[in-house]
Every structure is written in C-alpha cells, then in structure tokens.
C-alpha cells in the first residue's frame, strides 16, 4: 500500500514542475486581435455581424464578382460544380431535397448544404476566388440574398439581414438532410460493414464486376513514364487518347519550361487556363487575339504589370508587381510565339 | 488460382526464371534425369527466342563470358566523383524522375482547387518522402513568412492567447509517425473502376513523422473550459481560411500543432510553417497554415462539413461529421498499370492503416478472394500510422487477381465492394475503404478491376 502512495506523490511533483508555466512563451490576445480573426459564423448565428443586403444589390455584385466562375444564375459548372438547381418548392417544405434520394441529378451546393450560416460564413471568408475577404458585410448579405432568391427560397424584393436570417434557415431545402447516426465521429464508434476474416474457400469464384475501359487506359498519361525503368515491374506504355490529351500532356510528359513555371508560381493559372477560359481568358486565346500585332510586347507587358479590364470582359485582372521585367518578357514572348505548351 | 506458398528467401535467379516452379519441384522429386534434361534444353531455346524478341530481357541475355556491366567497368567506377555539397539540399537521382506527384485529368478545372497524388506504386516503407506528400488545396498554396505567422486560441478559454513561431518552438515537443489520408481517397472508384493506377486510386495518402506541440498543452495554457468546450474549430491562414470542427475527445488524446515533418520544417504545400495533425482523422481536418483554434460548445457546420465531406447514403441522407478513417489496405506493387517483367518470384508489397488504432494483420489473396494468406508486417507497427506488409509469390504465368485485406486491433475487417455498397450505395464520394483488386493477365500486365 505504501509504495504506490510515495510513487504517486513523486509523479505529482514532476507533473507540477512540467506544467509550472511556460514563462515568457505566448501572450494574451487583445480584443481587437480576436475580432480581426474570429470571423466564423455558427448555425446558431453566433459570430454573425449585423448588416443587410437586398436581392437586387446582390444581383449586381454577382454579375461583377461571381458570375465568371459560377454563371449568371449560379448554375455554371465550367470551373466549379453548380451552386443552384435541383431543389423544389416541395423540398423547401420538407427540408429534405428529393433529388438526393433519386440519384443521377447534379448535386448542387444548395441541394446539399443544410445551414444558411455555412453559406454566409464561406462567402465572407473565402470569396471571391481571387480576392478572398474583400467583400463588406452588407455585400455578403446581398450576394447571399441573390443566391437564395435564385433557389426560390426568398422573394425578389427580399432584404436579408441578421434580423431575419433565422427565418430563412427554416426554408433551407436540405435543412433536415443530415444525419450523425453513424460510427465515424468517435474512435470507438460502431462500424457499418461486417466482413469476416475467412481464409479458405471463402467463395466459389471471383467474378470481375468492373474493369478499366480501354478508352481510359491512357487518360492519366503514359504509365510507362510513371514507374521506374528497372525493378520487378515496368509501367505499361499507354499512349494518351487524342481528345483527352492536353491536360495529361501538360502535367505528365514535360517538365514545364520557364514561361509555364512562371505562370504557375505566380498564381496566373488560378484565373487563366492554357486552352480554357476560367476567370480570365485562356493563354491560347490571348495569343490568338494579339497574333502578328506589332506592339504585342509593349501592350501585353503593360497589361500584366498594371492589370486592367475591358478587353476580355469586366472582371479586372489585378496588377502583378511581384514579377520581374525578365519574367514578364518571358511570358509575353511566349504569348507572342503562340502560347505553346 | 495461382497462389503458391513458398518459403521466404527462395529466389529464382535470372536467366533461369522462365522455369516453371512445377518443373523445379519435379526435378527435386525425380532428380535431373534425361526426360527433364531434354525439357530444359527446349526451354532454353524458347527462352533465348523470347529474350531476343522482348527488349525487357536484353539485360538477361548475357554473352558467353559474362555480363558486360560486370566485365567492362562503368564510368562511375573509373572516374572521380563529385564533391560534397555540390547539391546543398540534395535531390533524387536523375533516374527517379518518373515518380512524382501528378494530377488526375478531369478532376478539377483549376489547379488551385485540385489534388496531386502520391506515387505509391514505387515507394517503400511507411514514410512518404516530403517532396512526394500528396497535395490537396482549396484555394491554392502560399509560402508564409514564418516570422509573421501567428497562432491564436480563443472561444471558451480563460485567456485568449497568441503564439509566434518563436513561442511554439520553445514549448515541449513530441514527434509522432502517423498516416494522413484524404476523406475522398478512392472517391472515383465508388461506382466502378475509373482510374488505372494506385497513384490515382489511393494516392491521397501519405505517412510522415510530425514534430510539434500537443494541442492539450496549448489548450491548458489558455485555460480552456473542459466542461462546455466539447468542440474545437481549426482555421487556416490561406485565402479560403479553411475551417473544420474536431471532437475535443480526439483533440486531447493525440492531436498536435506541428511545424516539423520528417526531420525538417513542413513543406509549403503541406502547411508551412504550422499545421494541425489529427491522427486517424480524415485529411481535410488537418488544417494547413493553421492560424486559429476556437473552443466551442457546438459544431460549426463549415463548408467542408455540409456541402462537401458529407457522405451521401442511398436514402438521400448525408452522413455529417464522418471523421474517422476506417481500416484500409492496398497492394502497391505489383499494381495497376504495371507489368511483371517475367514469371517467377515476387515480393508482393503494400500498405495498411486504420484510424482506430493499430493494424493487427493483413491477408493477401492471389485468386480474387477465394483463399487468403497472412502477410508479413514490417516493423514498426504504430498506432494510426501506415504499416508495410509483404508476402512471397511465385507467378507461374497464369491470370491472377491480387487483393489485400486488413484487420485492425478492434477486430474490424476491411470490407469488400459488395459489402460497402450494400450499406452505403455508390454515391458517398467519401470514405471508400473497400478491398482493392489488381488483375494480372497472362502477359504480366496488371490492371484495376473490382470483384
């Protein structure tokens, strides 16, 4: 009996020393610091700042800041999956989106998300794509009001605010569509599959239910270039199919040359695709437009350095002060030569 | 179907490896008599013909005197090598450039919100080289100035706190080896086979040693509310300022705020200079570029807890907060998109892991799951870490289907696709931990199949 007590005291003393306090390490946060960073909004609207915004104002902001990626009606899928669609007035009544049961339908954000706070929080913290946290509080309310109107959750003349957002929650189409009845939140949760460790003659035969279609063999590039050229195995040569080649070829078979490396390192590819319009025009489209023009180098150099808008729509391209003159010259010469990649 | 258990260490040496194990067994039984000598002569002729035809066999076709790579000394044996520190950081040999992170075409339109997969098909052991650790970003990666990075703790705490990197690196540290798997690993395979290789089926998986401060140390320093503080929000400093809710029970058990990975600082793509390490929990919760922790009494329903990372069930309900990564395993070599160079002996190797504890056993089947054999587990076997398994196999040239099946220390057995789909359908996107099958054709080519 005695020994454990003695040992216990010793352990307590050690713990005390270890936890004494971390003198000189860290400091208390000021209220202003906490306010600057604590921007999250919970489903019970803890953290939601007061403010308001109308559907009408939201539409204007949407076209200016959001539509290039998400489409005028939140339905585009050329950059991100669609935000709006596949919910019904009946879903707004039941609070569970019927198209999620059926399958086949595109799962839009508004069909999946259960809480309106989530949309407010994410627009506020992460949007727009190339300028996160640049929206004012009222702009966030307005953009969200426009989205909710597109989904027919609020009427055309609605003004969304911290006062009425809880009522909107009661009309979210998938507010009852979430379950936490599963064993994957706690470490000792109950699994939902129950395989057994059979060792011999566990079934009569092994039937292949699915195999890789021939057209997909080369979809991920030449596999002979994705394995070692010695050792117990080799990669199977898989020529890429002509149609699906560009993306795979760009990433798989070439070490990016200097221009493409500069574009990737400076975030240019976040808005410009090689051959595809994203937020801004594709590099190949820029090359095509200015092909053969005498002043291409000076014009494009200025555009990259100072930013601008108008040539390709109203979304402004931000200035790029971080690029060196040599880098800009490399990019422009590459564009002038046809933006080959 | 082609499984043949043999003793470890038995190796069929080149160029004799065209010999059927059956033949070898017969010689052992009957001796090397005239019938079998005649057979062997024919086999040599056939093998030489095959070697001439197949470029793979060239190295094996040694001239009478021996291998030219032995007989003629190569340049690296007859010249002066390069000085120390000619590459101060170091990089892989130029012959290793095929094994790199790769995107899968068509997954995402913008590479800032995409995935680059780890080349599991050529990797060894349980640690992923830092440069090959998979990448998944939601709004691109940044290279944060560590002298300007801060970690804030607020919410249900006595004292909201701020720590610099100087502060965090002065605190008591721990180093732990854990796996990190994206909740969407194997997502493309829920309904049917979709991608050719293990890099794309399972490559949102890495294993690393992480160094940092236990979260419990920091929460105690802030005086958190043990009673009401049942949840922790973690938030990133990147553009999307990613947020995720964690259960306080898990946080206090073994979560870290990590700055080190595999002996050096985290790589920028993996959250430099600070990330959350949440052992056994899906990768999206391991918030990178970690700037803030908030203690709360309710979960947050962040974007990646409602519109993403919620598992759609056949009844149209979405499982929210499916957080723990259940037991899973995969054979990494031989695997899809590879070709066996010859008949004969192979060390079949792969990885197993479980978010609930330790790997207890891994079984391998060579006949599509009819019969199973216990694999050897490489040491160490650590909790919530990758575990490497190996098993001997002599391929006799007949078609085979290779599978692995992990059993963890809770007794859970990795499910088949049929079992998983019976419960969860095919539209879940997340948490596909089904048994993977690789078909070996007579040509030696290995392809992705589901049985």
User: Which among A134, A169, A204 is the end of a domain?
Assistant: A169
Judge whether B417 and B387 are in contact, CB under 8 Å: no
Higher pLDDT, A341 or B49: A341
Judge whether A157 and A120 are in contact, CB under 8 Å: no
Domain count, chain A: 2
**Alpha helix ranges (H) inside B313-440:** 417-424
Q: B66: domain range?
A: 10-82
Does the structure show a pLDDT above 90 at A215? Answer: no
In a domain, A69, yes or no: yes
pLDDT over 70 for what percent of chain A? 87
Q: Of A14, A211, A231, A264, which to mutate for an interface test with B (greatest number of B Cβ within 10 Å)?
A: A211
In a domain, B4, yes or no: no
Half-sphere exposure of A8 (CA within 13 A, CB side): 5
Residues B273 and B383 in one domain: no
Residues B155 and B15 in one domain: no
Nearest CA in chain B to A200: B371
Residue B18: burial class (beta carbons within 10 Å; 0-12, 13-18, 19+): buried
Residues A158 and A252 in one domain: no
- In angstroms, the separation between the Cα of residue A70 and the nearest Cα of chain B is 13
- In this predicted structure, what is the pLDDT of residue B38? 60
- In this predicted structure, what is the pLDDT of residue A15? 44
In a domain, A189, yes or no: no
- In this predicted structure, what is the pLDDT of residue B18? 46
- Using pLDDT thresholds of 50, 70 and 90, give the confidence band for residue B272: very high
Residues A252 and A162 in one domain: no
Lookup result for tokens 């399972």: B202
- In angstroms, the separation between the Cα of residue B106 and the nearest Cα of chain A is 8
- Using pLDDT thresholds of 50, 70 and 90, give the confidence band for residue B58: very low
Higher pLDDT, B7 or B314: B314
pLDDT over 90 for what percent of chain A? 57
Tokens read off for B406: 């992990």
- In this predicted structure, what is the pLDDT of residue B25? 62
- Alpha-carbon distances of A31 from B152, B217, B280, rounded to whole Å: 12, 23, 35
Dist. CA B372–CA A201, nearest whole Å: 9
Judge whether A124 and B235 are in contact, CB under 8 Å: no
Nearest CA in chain A to B415: A195
Judge whether A140 and A134 are in contact, CB under 8 Å: no
Taking a contact as any Cβ pair under 8 Å apart, which residues of chain B between 3 and 42 contact chain A? none
- In this predicted structure, what is the pLDDT of residue A295? 80
| 3-class DSSP assignment, residue B350 | strand
Strands, sheet with A178-179, edge to edge from the N-terminal-most edge strand: A178-179, B318-319, B311-312
Print burial letters for B428-450: b (CB count within 10 Å at least 16), e (below 16): bbbbbbbbbbbbbeeebbbbbbb
Taking a contact as any Cβ pair under 8 Å apart, which residues of chain B between 323 and 362 contact chain A? 323-324, 326, 333-334, 336-341, 346-347, 355-357, 361
pLDDT per residue over B335-374, tens digit each? 999 999 999 999 999 999 999 999 999 999 999 999 999 9
Cβ within 8 Å, pair A179-B317? yes
- Using pLDDT thresholds of 50, 70 and 90, give the confidence band for residue B14: very low
Backbone dihedral angles phi then psi of residue B305, each to the nearest 5 degrees: -125, 0
Cβ within 8 Å, pair A232-B333? yes
Does the structure show a pLDDT above 60 at B60? Answer: no
Neighbours of B424 (CB within 10 A): 23
Judge whether B271 and B238 are in contact, CB under 8 Å: no
Q: Which long-range contacts (CB under 8 A, 24 or more apart) does B11-14 make?
A: B11/B345, B12/B344, B12/B345, B12/B394, B14/B60, B14/B342
DSSP state of B426: T
- The stretch B409-434 carries a mean pLDDT of 97
Cβ within 8 Å, pair A78-B109? yes
- In this predicted structure, what is the pLDDT of residue A324? 78
Dist. CA B423–CA A193, nearest whole Å: 7
- In this predicted structure, what is the pLDDT of residue A331? 84
Task: Please name the member of A40, A118, A226 whose beta carbon is closest to the beta carbon of B306.
Answer: A118
Express the helix, strand and coil content of chain B in percent, nearest 5 each: 25, 30, 45
Residue in A252, A341, A144 with CA at minimum distance from that of residue B199:
A252
Measured between beta carbons, the chain A residues lying within 8 angstroms of B122 are 227-228, 231
Q: Of B2, B237, B241, which to mutate for an interface test with A (greatest number of A Cβ within 10 Å)?
A: B241
Residues B173 and B301 in one domain: yes
Measured between beta carbons, the chain A residues lying within 8 angstroms of B451 are 206-209
Residues B108 and B240 in one domain: yes
User: Which among A169, A189, A209 is the end of a domain?
Assistant: A169
Print burial letters for A73-104: b (CB count within 10 Å at least 16), e (below 16): ebebeebbbbbbbbbeeebbeebbbbbbeeee
Residues B272 and B401 in one domain: no
User: Which among A151, A169, A187 is the end of a domain?
Assistant: A169
Cβ within 8 Å, pair A199-B448? no
Measured between beta carbons, the chain A residues lying within 8 angstroms of B138 are 126
In a domain, A89, yes or no: yes
- In angstroms, the separation between the Cα of residue A201 and the nearest Cα of chain B is 5
CA-derived radius of gyration, chain A: 28
Residues A64 and A161 in one domain: yes
In a domain, A67, yes or no: yes
Residues B345 and B282 in one domain: no
- Using pLDDT thresholds of 50, 70 and 90, give the confidence band for residue A20: low
Backbone dihedral angles phi then psi of residue A120, each to the nearest 5 degrees: -60, -50
- Using pLDDT thresholds of 50, 70 and 90, give the confidence band for residue A315: low
Residues A62 and A160 in one domain: yes
Mean pLDDT of chain A: 85
Per mean pLDDT, which range of A14-18, A54-58, A175-179, B66-70 is the poorest?
Answer: A14-18
Domain count, chain B: 3
- In this predicted structure, what is the pLDDT of residue B21? 57
- In angstroms, the separation between the Cα of residue A323 and the nearest Cα of chain B is 16
Residues A129 and A251 in one domain: no
DSSP state of B315: T
**Alpha helix ranges (H) inside B292-416:** 303-306
User: Would residue B111 be called left, alpha or beta, if left means φ above 0 and alpha means ψ between -120 and 50 degrees?
Assistant: alpha
Residues B308 and B401 in one domain: no
Task: Please name the member of A44, A132, A195 whose beta carbon is closest to the beta carbon of B419.
Answer: A195
pLDDT over 70 for what percent of chain B? 86
Does the structure show a pLDDT above 50 at B404? Answer: yes
Residues B361 and B296 in one domain: no
Q: A271: domain range?
A: 246-336
In a domain, A307, yes or no: yes
- The stretch B240-267 carries a mean pLDDT of 97
- In angstroms, the separation between the Cα of residue B159 and the nearest Cα of chain A is 6
Cβ within 8 Å, pair B161-A129? no
Residue in B190, B178, B146, B179 with CA at minimum distance from that of residue B164:
B146
Does the structure show a pLDDT above 50 at B422? Answer: yes
Please report, for the domain that includes residue A320, its CATH number: 1.10.760.10
Dist. CA A173–CA A88, nearest whole Å: 8
Residues B69 and B119 in one domain: no
In a domain, A31, yes or no: no
- The stretch B199-214 carries a mean pLDDT of 98
Measured between beta carbons, the chain B residues lying within 8 angstroms of A19 are 220
Nearest CA in chain B to A207: B451
- In this predicted structure, what is the pLDDT of residue A214? 85
User: Which among B82, B111, B126 is the end of a domain?
Assistant: B82
In a domain, B294, yes or no: yes
- In this predicted structure, what is the pLDDT of residue B53? 43
In a domain, B114, yes or no: yes
Taking a contact as any Cβ pair under 8 Å apart, which residues of chain B between 45 and 74 contact chain A? 56
In a domain, B342, yes or no: yes
Tokens read off for B33: 């008599």
| 3-class DSSP assignment, residue A115 | coil
- In angstroms, the separation between the Cα of residue B35 and the nearest Cα of chain A is 32
Q: Of A173, A227, A252, which to mutate for an interface test with B (greatest number of B Cβ within 10 Å)?
A: A227
Q: Of B187, B302, B325, B439, which to mutate for an interface test with A (greatest number of A Cβ within 10 Å)?
A: B302
- The stretch B325-344 carries a mean pLDDT of 98
Per mean pLDDT, which range of A20-34, A117-131, B26-40, B348-362 is the poorest?
Answer: B26-40
Give DSSP secondary structure letters for B20-73.
Answer: -HHHHHHHHHH-S-HHHHHHHHHHHHHHHHHHHH-GGGGGG---TT--HHHHS-
- In angstroms, the separation between the Cα of residue B181 and the nearest Cα of chain A is 15
- In angstroms, the separation between the Cα of residue A339 and the nearest Cα of chain B is 18
Please report, for the domain that includes residue B313, its CATH number: 3.90.420.10
pLDDT per residue over A187-202, tens digit each? 999 999 999 999 999 9
Per mean pLDDT, which range of A288-297, A309-318, B3-12, B244-253 is the poorest?
Answer: B3-12
In a domain, B189, yes or no: yes
Count A/B contacts: CB-CB distance under 8 Å.
346
Cβ within 8 Å, pair B103-A25? no
Nearest CA in chain B to A244: B105
In a domain, A274, yes or no: yes
- In this predicted structure, what is the pLDDT of residue B444? 98
pLDDT per residue over A84-129, tens digit each? 999 999 999 999 999 998 877 889 999 999 999 999 999 999 999 9
User: Which among B319, B352, B369 is the end of a domain?
Assistant: B319
Q: Is B318 part of the contact surface with chain A (CB cutoff 8 Å)?
A: yes
- In this predicted structure, what is the pLDDT of residue B39? 55
Residues A43 and A162 in one domain: yes
pLDDT over 90 for what percent of chain B? 83
- In this predicted structure, what is the pLDDT of residue A271? 75
In a domain, B162, yes or no: yes
- In this predicted structure, what is the pLDDT of residue B16? 39
Does the structure show a pLDDT above 80 at B84? Answer: yes
In a domain, B249, yes or no: yes
Per mean pLDDT, which range of A137-151, B56-70, B166-180, B325-339 is the poorest?
Answer: B56-70
User: Which among B319, B345, B361 is the end of a domain?
Assistant: B319
Does the structure show a pLDDT above 60 at A12? Answer: no
- In this predicted structure, what is the pLDDT of residue B35? 61
In a domain, B5, yes or no: no
- Say what the alpha-carbon torsion angle A250, A252, A258, A262 is, to the nearest 10 degrees: 70
Residues B315 and B341 in one domain: no
In a domain, A185, yes or no: no
> Which ipTM score applies to this complex?
0.85
């Amino acid at each position: 009996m005695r020994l454990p007590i003695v040992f216990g005291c010793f352990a307590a003393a050690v713990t005390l020393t270890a936890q004494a306090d971390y003198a000189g390490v860290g400091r208390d946060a000021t209220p202003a610091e906490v306010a600057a960073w604590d921007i999250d909004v919970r489903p019970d609207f803890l953290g939601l700042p007061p403010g308001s915004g109308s559907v009408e104002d939201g539409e204007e902001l949407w076209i200016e800041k959001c539509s290039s990626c998400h489409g005028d009606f939140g339905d585009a899928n050329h950059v991100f999956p669609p935000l709006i669609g596949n919910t019904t007035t009946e879903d707004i009544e039941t609070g569970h989106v019927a198209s999620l049961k059926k399958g086949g339908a595109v799962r839009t954000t508004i069909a999946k998300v259960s809480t309106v706070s989530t949309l407010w929080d994410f627009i506020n913290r992460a949007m727009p794509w190339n300028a996160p946290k640049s929206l004012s509080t009222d702009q966030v309310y307005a953009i969200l009001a426009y989205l909710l109107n597109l989904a027919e959750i609020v009427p055309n003349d609605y003004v969304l605010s911290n006062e009425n957002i809880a009522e909107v929650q009661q009309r979210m189409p998938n507010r009852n569509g979430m379950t936490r009845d599963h064993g994957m939140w706690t470490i000792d949760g109950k699994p939902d599959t129950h395989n057994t460790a059979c060792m011999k003659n566990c079934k009569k035969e092994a039937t292949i239910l699915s195999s890789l279609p021939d057209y997909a063999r080369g979809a991920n590039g030449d596999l002979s270039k994705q394995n070692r050229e010695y050792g117990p195995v080799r990669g199977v040569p898989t020529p890429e199919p002509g149609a699906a080649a560009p993306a795979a070829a760009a990433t798989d078979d070439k070490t990016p040359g200097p221009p493409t490396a500069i574009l990737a390192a400076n975030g240019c590819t976040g808005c410009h695709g090689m051959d595809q319009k994203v937020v801004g025009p594709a590099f190949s489209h820029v090359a095509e437009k200015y092909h053969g023009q005498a002043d291409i180098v000076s014009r494009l150099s200025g555009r990259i350095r100072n930013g601008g808008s108008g040539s390709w729509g109203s979304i402004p391209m931000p200035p790029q002060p971080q690029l060196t003159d040599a880098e800009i010259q490399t990019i422009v010469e590459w564009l002038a030569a046809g933006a080959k990649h | 179907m082609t499984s043949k258990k043999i003793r470890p260490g038995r190796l069929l040496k080149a160029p004799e490896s065209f010999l059927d194990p059956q033949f070898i067994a017969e010689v052992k039984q009957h001796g090397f008599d005239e019938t079998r000598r005649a057979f062997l002569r024919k086999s040599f002729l056939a093998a030489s013909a095959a070697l001439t035809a197949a470029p793979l066999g060239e190295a094996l076709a040694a001239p009478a005197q021996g291998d030219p790579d032995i007989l003629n000394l190569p340049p690296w044996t007859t010249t002066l090598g390069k000085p120390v520190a000619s590459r101060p950081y170091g990089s892989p040999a130029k012959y290793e450039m095929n094994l790199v992170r790769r995107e899968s075409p068509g997954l995402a339109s913008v590479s800032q919100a995409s995935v680059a997969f780890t080349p599991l098909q050529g990797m060894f052991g349980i640690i992923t080289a830092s440069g090959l650790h998979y990448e998944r970003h939601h709004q691109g990666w940044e290279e944060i100035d560590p002298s300007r990075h801060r970690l804030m703790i607020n919410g249900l705490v006595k004292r909201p706190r701020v720590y610099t990197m100087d502060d965090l690196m002065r605190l008591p540290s721990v180093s732990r080896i854990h796996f990190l798997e994206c909740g969407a690993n194997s997502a493309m395979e829920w309904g049917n086979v979709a991608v050719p290789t293990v890099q794309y089926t399972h490559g949102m998986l890495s294993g690393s040693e992480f160094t940092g401060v236990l979260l419990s140390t920091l929460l105690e320093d802030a005086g958190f509310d043990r009673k009401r503080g049942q949840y922790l929000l973690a938030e990133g400093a990147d553009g999307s300022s990613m947020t995720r809710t964690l259960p306080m029970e898990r946080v206090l058990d073994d979560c870290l705020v990590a700055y080190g990975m595999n002996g050096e600082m985290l790589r920028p793509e993996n959250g430099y200079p600070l990330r959350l390490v949440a052992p056994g929990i899906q990768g999206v919760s391991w918030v990178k570029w970690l700037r803030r922790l908030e203690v709360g009494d309710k979960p947050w329903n962040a974007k990646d807890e409602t519109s993403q990372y919620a598992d759609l069930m056949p009844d149209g309900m979405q499982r929210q907060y499916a957080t723990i990564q259940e037991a899973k395993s995969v054979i990494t070599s031989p695997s899809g998109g590879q070709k066996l160079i010859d008949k004969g002996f192979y060390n079949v190797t792969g990885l197993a892991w479980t978010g609930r504890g330790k790997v207890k056993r891994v079984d391998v089947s060579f006949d599509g799951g009819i019969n199973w054999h216990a694999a050897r587990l490489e040491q160490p076997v650590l909790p919530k870490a990758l575990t490497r398994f190996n098993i001997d196999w002599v391929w006799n040239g007949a078609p085979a289907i290779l599978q692995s099946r992990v059993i963890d220390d809770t007794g859970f057995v990795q499910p088949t696709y049929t079992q998983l789909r019976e419960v969860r359908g095919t539209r879940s996107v997340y948490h596909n931990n089904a048994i993977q099958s690789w078909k070996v054709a007579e040509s030696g080519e290995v392809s992705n199949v589901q049985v």
